[in-house]
Amino acid sequence: MATSAEIENRLRRLNERLARYIPPRETWTPADEALYKPVDLLRVPVDEAQEMQLKAIKYAFTRHYTYNQFYYEYCKMMGVSPDDLKTSDDFNKIPLIPDSIFKQHPSGKDLAYWITSIFTGDLPKVVIKGANPTFDDVINAFNEQAGMAVTYSSGTSGQHTVIPRDQKTMHAFQYGWTKMWLDIWDPTSIDHALNLIPKPTRSNLFAAKLQEVFEQLFEDHHYALDFEISADLALRAAVDHSNAAVAEQLSADGQLRKIFTIGTQWLERYEKTTDTIWILSFPALFSVFLDALEAQGKHFDFGERGVILTGGGWKTRDGKNMPHRDFRKRVEEVLGIPETRCLDSYGMSELNGGIVACPEGHYYHLPPWMKLFILDEGLKPIGYGEFGRLTFLDPLAYSYPGFVISGDEVRMFEHCPVCDRPGPVLDTVIQRVPSAEGRGCSTVLQKVLEQELEAQ
């Protein structure tokens, strides 16, 4: 375990490298304070974290209430105003937005109008070329002309989740995700980094854009997926099973072989050295990569000098849940990287900052600025240890109201059952709450026909 002096050194080095992600101190909002001020985000005492949360969430709520016409009207309808938020007991008064709202965006021209509605604050006028702009045309126009960082998810439910981040929100997310790891491993000590996730300049995928931060963080940073990934490709790939289908789609396009060749050569290059290596990937894609390495009889022994980070759905190519532990064991067998260095982060497109797994028990630890609730099926808060719908209040969402009811079913524990880091944690068993079913037999038939039409 790193000493507090070591963590401070890590933070100093991180802040030097990511200086452009940190706003000037004099401009810090209470939400910024909660992110940028603590040295070790995983060891903020619970009472301090609660105090930070109250200030940050109250600030964020007031901002969206004041500068977002849609959210203001919604709050008025619910009869809630910033004056009602006095203590953390009042958090449950904050009007929540179901995550389906971020999926219900229209397409074409209307998508542009939708972005103007959900965005908090001022926007410059955006000119979009073409009478029938594509999904990417609209998003690119906002990103290029309005200085935004609009991204979308891969669309595992058949639809992209669109998140209208501005640069401030995106930077807070990227910095927060990286800083969350400081207590566990040192991001500034990595000699060589490989990404098995689309390159940020070649895709508006949320997972891709996160990685812009690694350009600043790592001196030697390599992308195995260096080709264009459009919204349509991502959706086609993801429509069936989480990110496992990305692998399927890439395989069909002949790209998978190229990716694996790049990955294999990269591993072989650094196995012969004593340098530290770091790999980021979707679990499903990395699992297929491990299959390919094993099929070629390739085994490595990176040991403690390797770090594997994953994020994204834990589904296999045939849509089954992939046990985390089995995955870590396979990583150890094929790459020689111990389980304590094979770590996952949990997140949603709507959420800013990482929820990171500890190396001891692999439970997901929460950022101190974020308030999470678990709701039962009737949307009433439930206690620790019970499965329910994950709901969060995220004050780092500066450009949209980050008060979201998710479609993920999880359970929360008051303390990590294994490690001594303070604050609540999420269990690793996370699944989707069923929602699109139950309406009528038509929904069933529609899904069957749609899937069959996709068959070749």
Partner 1 sequence: MIEMNEQGLPSQEVSKPAELAMGPMIRKMLANPGALKKMRTMDPDEERYVRPSRPYDLPEYRQGMKHCKSSEKYLRPTRWCNPREPLVIAMAHELGAYELSDWEFAEAAFWFVKTRFTAEFMPLNSVSDSLRRGTGTCFHTNSVWIALCRAAGIKARYKTFNMMLPPSLTNAKTESGRATVNIFNTGMPEVEGEVCIDGKWVVGHVAMRPEYLACGYLPIPRFGEDAIGLTFPLTPGATIKRFESTPLWMWLVAKAITSFIPASMERANLKVLDALLRGSQVIEKAGGLEAYDRAARSKSESLHVDEIVRTMKAAMRPELVEFEA
The beta-strand segments (E) located in 42-98 are: 97-98
Nearer to partner 1, 304 or 377 (CB): 377
Query: How far is Cα 377 from Cα 21, in angstroms, rounded to an integer?
Result: 39
| Residue 277 CB, nearest approach to partner 1 (Å) | 37
CA distance 400 to 162: 11
From the list 127-135, 182-190, 331-339, 354-362, the region that binds partner 1 by CB under 8 A is 127-135
**Contact between 126 and partner 1 per CB under 8 A:** yes
**Residues 378-417, mask of contacts with partner 1 (x by CB under 8 A):** xxx------------------------x------------
Name residue, tokens 């029938």. Answer: 132
CB of 439 to partner 1, least distance (A): 6
Nearest of 210, 284, 203, 204 to residue 241 by alpha carbon: 284
What is the nearest approach in angstroms of partner 1 to the Cβ of residue 231?
7
Site for partner 1 in 272-291 (CB under 8 A): none
CB of 22 to partner 1, least distance (A): 29
Residue among 425, 408, 414 nearest 363 (CA): 425
Near partner 1 by CB under 8 A, which window of 113-121, 205-213, 295-303, 314-322?
A: 113-121
Residue from the set 97, 267, 334, 374 that interacts with partner 1 by CB under 8 A: 97
> Which of these ranges, 151-159, 220-228, 242-250, 269-277, lies near partner 1 under the rule CB under 8 A?
151-159
Write down the least CB distance from residue 59 to partner 1, Å. 22
Could you give the angle at the alpha carbon of 416 between the alpha carbons of 415 and 422, nearest 5°? Answer: 60
Q: Choose, by CB under 8 A, the member of 106, 319, 323, 381 that binds partner 1.
A: 106
In the chain the first and final C-alpha atoms are separated, in Å, by 52
Q: What angle do CA 266, 272, 276 make, to 5 degrees?
A: 70
Three-state DSSP state, 447: helix
Among the listed residues 372, 390, 385, the one whose alpha carbon sits nearest the alpha carbon of residue 431: 390
- Minimum separation from the CB atom of position 123 to partner 1 (A): 5
Determine phi and psi for 413, rounding to 5 degrees.
Answer: -115, 150
Shortest Cβ 64–partner 1 spacing (Å): 12
Of 20-28, 37-45, 108-116, 266-274: span binding partner 1 (CB under 8 A): 108-116
Q: How far is the CB of 188 from partner 1 (least distance, A)?
A: 40
Q: What is the spatial distance between Cα 374 and Cα 384, in angstroms, rounded to a whole number? A: 8
Query: From residue 422 to residue 441, what is the string marking binding to partner 1 with x (rule CB under 8 A)?
Result: -----------xxxxxxxxx
* Residue 320 near partner 1 by CB under 8 A: no
- Which of 64, 105, 324, 421 is in the footprint of partner 1 by CB under 8 A? 105
Please give the Cα distance from 322 to 281 (Å, whole number). Answer: 15
- Structure tokens, 227: 């080709």
Q: Give me the 55-74 binding string for partner 1, x by CB under 8 A, dash otherwise.
A: -------------xxx--xx
Give the integer Cα–Cα distance in Å for 456 and 453.
8
Q: What separation in angstroms does the CA of 238 have from each of 28, 48, 212, 250, 284?
A: 38, 40, 22, 11, 12
Using CB under 8 A, which residues numbered 356 to 385 contact partner 1?
A: 376-380
Q: Judged by CB under 8 A, which of 81, 140, 157, 167 binds partner 1?
A: 157
Residues 159-178 that bind partner 1 (CB under 8 A): 159-160
Question: Segment 77-96, which members bind partner 1 (CB under 8 A)?
Answer: 77-78
In the region spanning residues 226 to 245, those forming contacts with partner 1, defined by CB under 8 A, are 231-232, 235-236, 239
The nearest distance, CB 33 to partner 1, in angstroms, is: 30
The smaller minimum CB distance to partner 1, of residues 123 and 290, is found at 123
The answer to whether residue 318 forms part of the interface with partner 1 (CB under 8 A) is no
Count of residues binding partner 1 (CB under 8 A)? 74
Closest of 186, 262, 252, 250 to residue 223, by C-alpha: 262
| Residue carrying structure tokens 């669309």 | 155
Torsion from C-alpha of 378, 383, 386, 387, nearest 10 degrees: 50
Cα separation, 417 vs 425, in Å, equals 9
CB 321: neighbour CB atoms within 10 A? 13
- Closest to partner 1 by CB, 75 vs 250, is 75
**What is the length of the chain?**
456
Beta-ladder partners of 280: 195, 309
The residue range among 119-127, 219-227, 259-267, 289-297 that interacts with partner 1, by the rule CB under 8 A, is: 119-127
Q: Is 112 in the site for partner 1 (CB under 8 A)?
A: yes
Q: Which residues contact 177 (CB under 8 A, 6 or more apart)?
A: 210, 213, 345, 347, 353, 354
